[in-house]
Structure 1
């Protein structure tokens, strides 16, 4: 048995308070492949908590029977800071209250240039040796990251646990949505089996969103080095953000289904021993992130949707309407929201009272949209 639980204490934010990250480790340290899972980086997105709870149960049974061949790290609660932001019974866990505020999944430390400078004179013609060289440099640069504040400590700890993993799977959710994922263009083929196992039909494909999100940060070091050195640098990390439907799509049945899919994926990748699943990925389709229409509210009011999650839409169709409660003429107080692309209506906000200018729905399309700007493809 190799199962271990480690508690990582974060810097104390205020006198008398202390928070921790709990990491569940399976397999021998350093074994390959290594896969890292985390849930709740956005602390108001909770389906992943239950999914990883059930995945840990499956992994414990596999460990007891000697089936763990690689290394697996599971962080079931990745953001205790955000979870503590309880405001009159509501947990606004997407943005930090302190430490400068900001989205918990944006502006993570970027180590690419520092690592490039550290190893540029040591690159060889052996890709395996180069991989080891990069991993060592990552470890050295991570050690230099500041951890003065609680948030800095949390980010440094999560990166230290994830950046040497072959695969990083970050679990999130949307307000109301079908199962979908954000996948780097380079990894579309690699992660297609995972999306198929999860019955996800929509994958958002991107290269560089400009967000410096957690999953992009794990990959960016390798991407930057490959840009300069090509195949001499292998993909030492592949990552994706997995959106587990909507905020209220939480049940034992769904969590069991999703955890079984993740476990089957670990078997497929040889991390866990077992009979490899048969994959039918014919229903999985990738859509460019710069072709995703962000439907915005033209005014504040009540939103009424005309399309359901998963429905196909065409350019010019009304997907929703906003009723402006402050208009004098109630006969003309409804404002239509029109699709600007052909595609799939796959996500929308859960609240029905919306504010002016807010992105309230998403349509996955195929054709580039001129108002979608490369490097700024994620809303906050």
Structure 2
């Protein structure tokens, strides 16, 4: 199959409106390995748009040269609903305005129990047959998902495009941050080459976050089945979330670097024919997600940081301050932001006016923090 573009029409939310998801397909349908990319599920996170646009240009050349051996699916704009939430030039695209609201990357349909019920009694010692069995069961369950609302239709479409992929790469970004990623513990070694190519030095290692995010949903079926069938059900999908630095880290230079890294990774995984890149993963460091300190604003006001993104910090160190604009005594109106772990200061919110109690900075540490609860590791 040559390069093709498919437009998936979402249910109309209001009279006279309609949105689409556009999926770019390379390679023969059903070829392996299959890799799926998407960007902008949080519709206010835009670096991935330009990265995937640049990657598409590279893939078109590879396709013309007959170099694509596997299958590649790219959805460069994964959330047209969120992008339409334009409020006087500001796009609050992290949360849905309709369909009950909520974070666009939370509470995706979990299919593990239903798939297990479908395949029970049919699993054999033939591992490849078992993978096909699971993928067929996933497909059947996806067909049964509701698509009455626009958001339901969007989620169903994205899962239908991604859940049979060998690898799922979901591109996001933070407010201000260095390149980093969220990776399931089981896939740390598998994705280390990708992180090395991207230049990420920080990766958060997770197991059960409790978020039911898009990338977790793609692997949760396989994780659930492995608990029942162990080696008889191998990993049929591996996924991760890549955070492409900060919201404003958008340029042709960044896009070229990141797209080339993704292209080289496809060569490494033999999706594209070519000379495999040399990988040096020595600078990629994994940090447990339950050891990540979420630094909270002690009061409302203006935040000023004393530490730069990427700097090492120590527990007890002051990384910044929040100036309370309503204090009577301006001489004592600054309140410190104190690190609660040794680690790397890798992300913070972009705006400088903060709300009392909100998480405004992240520090990747190595030691479990008592206030970080397994299964509830993400805040909205």
For 2:20, the equivalent position in structure 1 comes to 20
Q: Does 1:188 align with 2:193?
A: no
C-alpha distance in 2 between matches for 1:173 and 1:251:
14
For 1:213, the equivalent position in structure 2 comes to 213
For 2:157, the equivalent position in structure 1 comes to 157
Displacement of 1:82 in angstroms is: 0.1
Displacement of 1:121 in angstroms is: 1.2
C-alpha distance in 2 between matches for 1:120 and 1:242:
34
Question: Residues 1-380 of structure 1: matches in 2 within 5 Å?
Answer: 2-380=2-380
C-alpha distance in 1 between matches for 2:120 and 2:213:
25
1:328-349 deviations in Å (ceiling 9; x for gaps): 1111111001100000000000
C-alpha distance in 2 between matches for 1:189 and 1:35:
18
1:106-158 deviations in Å (ceiling 9; x for gaps): 00000000001111111111111110000000000000000000000000000
1:270-329 deviations in Å (ceiling 9; x for gaps): 000000000000000000000000000011000000100000000110011000001111
Structure 1 runs of 4+ aligned residues shifted over 2 Å read none
SS in 1 for 2:208: coil
SS in 2 for 1:224: helix
C-alpha distance in 2 between matches for 1:76 and 1:206:
26
SS in 1 for 2:31: coil
C-alpha distance in 2 between matches for 1:6 and 1:79:
16
SS in 1 for 2:66: coil
C-alpha distance in 2 between matches for 1:204 and 1:6:
34
Displacement of 1:62 in angstroms is: 0.2
User: Normalized against structure 2, the TM-score is what?
Assistant: 1.00
C-alpha distance in 1 between matches for 2:199 and 2:337:
29
State the Cα RMSD in Å.
0.5
C-alpha distance in 2 between matches for 1:161 and 1:321:
45
C-alpha distance in 2 between matches for 1:209 and 1:306:
30
Unaligned runs of 5+ in 1: none
SS in 2 for 1:216: helix
SS in 1 for 2:156: helix
C-alpha distance in 1 between matches for 2:299 and 2:125:
58
Unaligned runs of 5+ in 2: none
C-alpha distance in 1 between matches for 2:192 and 2:111:
28
Displacement of 1:372 in angstroms is: 0.2
1:79-98 deviations in Å (ceiling 9; x for gaps): 00000000011000000000
Q: Which moved more, 1:38-47 or 1:112-121?
A: 112-121
SS in 2 for 1:280: coil
User: Normalized against structure 1, the TM-score is what?
Assistant: 1.00
C-alpha distance in 1 between matches for 2:216 and 2:361:
23
